[in-house]
Structure 1
Amino acid sequence: MGWAFLTLAGMFEVVGVIGMNKVSKHRNLQSFIILFGGMIMSFGFLSQAMKTLPMGTAYAIWTGIGTVGGTLVGIFFYGESNDWKRILFISMVLAAAIGLKLIS
């Protein structure tokens, strides 16, 4: 169950990052709700995941999901660069996360 909570935590971190982007462009109530709602849910699920998973593994996976997810949202929805080097390093983050899952 810890891995399911961790996956949800990472997904909500991406929602929080989307909220940060929205707040930086439009300071309105909806943007702040997305930001704070995403982060509150993310930290809540992360704390649940850390009840059964080692702290270092949980934190590394959580930040990895947020990093990769935020980058992919930027590429697909905000027109950020999709240079092959960015894709290579995103793949390396994913490989590290998969490796941590396999050894945990």
Structure 2
Amino acid sequence: MAWVSLVLAGIFEMFGVTMINKVNKDKSLLSIILLMVGFGCSFLFLALAMQSLPMGTAYAIWTGIGASGGALLGMVLYGESKDWKRLLFIFMVLAAAIGLKLVS
């Protein structure tokens, strides 16, 4: 269950990052509320995951999902660069997170 919570935390982190971009564009109350909900849920699920998982592993995987997911969402939703080098480094972040899972 801790790993499910951690993945959910990462997904909500990606949502929160997406909402930051939306708030910068339209500054509506709904966008601000969604931003707070996204990050609030992210921290809640991270805290739940850290009840069973080591802090270093949980935090590294959470930030890996958030960073790589945010970069991928930027590519898909906002037309950011899809250069192969950028994709390679995103893959490396994901590989490191999977490696932490395998040794934990």
Asked if TM exceeds 0.5, the reply is yes
The residue that corresponds to 2:87 in the other structure is 87
2:41 aligned partner: 41
- For these two proteins, the number of residue pairs brought into alignment is 104
Matches within 5 A, 1:66-85: 66-85=66-85
Matched, 1:14 2:14: yes
Q: Which runs of 4+ in 1 moved over 3 A?
A: none
1:57 matched to which residue of 2?
57
Shift of 1:77: 0.8
Structure 1: how far apart are the matches of 2:77 and 2:27? 19
* 1:19–1:34 CA contact under 8 A, matched in 2: yes
Any gaps of 5 or more consecutive residues in structure 2?
none
Cα deviation, 1:22-81, whole Å, max 9, x if unaligned, reads 111111111101110000000000000000000000000000000011001000110000
State TM-score, norm by structure 2: 0.98
Q: Which runs of 5+ in 1 are unaligned?
A: none
Which amino acid in the other structure matches residue 69 of structure 1? G
Q: 1:19-38 to 2 correspondence within 5 Å?
A: 19-38=19-38
Q: Identity across aligned pairs (percent)?
A: 63
TM-score of the pair, normalised by structure 1: 0.98
User: 1:73 and 1:34 mapped to 2: Cα distance?
Assistant: 17
